[in-house]
Structure 1
Amino acid sequence: MAQNHRTMPTREQLRIWRDYVETAQVLRTRLGSRLQNESSLSSGDYQVLLALTEAPQYTLRSAELAALIGWERSRLSHHLGRMEKRHLIRRVPCTDDVHGVDVTATDTGRESFRAGSVPHLRAVRELFIEALSPQQLANLDDISAALQRHLGVDGTPAPAA
């Protein structure tokens, strides 16, 4: 059924949207709080370390890391500075790019990530997975894929706004 793109969302559509956004925020906040309390890693630390631990030699260019986790480069730079002071990562100039910086997870960072992963994954199970039936999880997977396609997050171009 074709919809007029100039039509405002209905009251029911807006209720569903707000419920989704507000619930997702509560979930992110609770997961972040548990991660911080149980591992001393912030959600941002975990995102950075996850990307680095999956990279060859635990290293990514700063620009690649920013793109991979969806952060602005300035936000990432400030966050990496805090992580570097805690010896979770190390930054060194790229040998083949005068402006580039390689970011590497240190032994301390990799161990912190491993130690934080167990309680974090337990929290994901308790707060998210256990709340949904297998069919609801499958439906949510379909919904997420549809949103990713629509937004161009899955590698396909997003439709013109």
Structure 2
Amino acid sequence: MGDESGDTPRWLDGAEMRAWRGFIEGSQRLMEVLNRELQTRHRISLDDYRILVMLSESKDGAARMSDLADGVLSSRSKLTHQVRRMEVEGLVARSTCVEDGRGVLAVITEGGRERLAEAAPTHVRGVRRYLIDLLEPAELLGVATVFDKVDGALDRRMEG
């Protein structure tokens, strides 16, 4: 384990390659299916859903655009375009931050809350059907442990 600082890569062995490819293929297919179900049934993307969830869970249903970008792991320019589109659809509104007058807030609208409430059961059913209910409790704990480690390593990399 640890950071590889040399120029010669440590190539993946068969088990490591199987795990890596399984993660890439499985996670991409899972996100595609969850996204397609939300779009087909509720006219909302998985990215839009994530933003609505973050806003609905925040104080006053609002968040600074910069905090929202960090929370959904998106570039600020991509998030700006996405929120602008969501604003046109009546899911969110943008306003100036009262605290400093400079920051821009995204605020969930009543229409956004309604769309989220309609879409949430579909999303949860998909997450259960395609991931959670397939795993034993120890496997769920393993998945959580693995991604806690990955997130921690990435956080340390960003800090250093």
Structure-2-length-normalised TM-score: 0.88
Partner Cα separation in structure 1 for residue 2 and residue 68 of structure 2: 39
Percent identical? 29
Whether 1:122 and 2:125 are equivalent positions in the alignment is yes
Which residue among 94, 97, 117 is the counterpart of 2:97?
94
Partner Cα separation in structure 1 for residue 60 and residue 145 of structure 2: 34
Partner Cα separation in structure 2 for residue 70 and residue 143 of structure 1: 19
Change (3 A) 1:125 1:103: same
Letter of the structure 1 residue corresponding to residue 77 of structure 2: S
Partner Cα separation in structure 1 for residue 67 and residue 4 of structure 2: 38
Which residue among 70, 85, 88 is the counterpart of 1:85?
88
- State the 1:71 CA deviation: 1.0
- State the 1:4 CA deviation: 6.2
Moved >4 Å (runs of 4+):
1-5
Root-mean-square deviation over aligned CA pairs:
2.2
Post-superposition Cα deviations, 1:63-106, rounded to whole Å, max 9, x if no partner, equal 11111211111001100111001100001122344432111000
Q: How many residues align?
A: 157
Unaligned runs of 5+ in 1: none
Which residue among 53, 63, 66 is the counterpart of 1:63?
66
Which residue among 135, 140, 149 is the counterpart of 2:138?
135
Partner Cα separation in structure 2 for residue 104 and residue 7 of structure 1: 46
Which residue among 105, 108, 112 is the counterpart of 1:105?
108
Post-superposition Cα deviations, 1:108-147, rounded to whole Å, max 9, x if no partner, equal 0011111110111011111111221122111111111221
SS of the equivalent of 1:158 reads helix
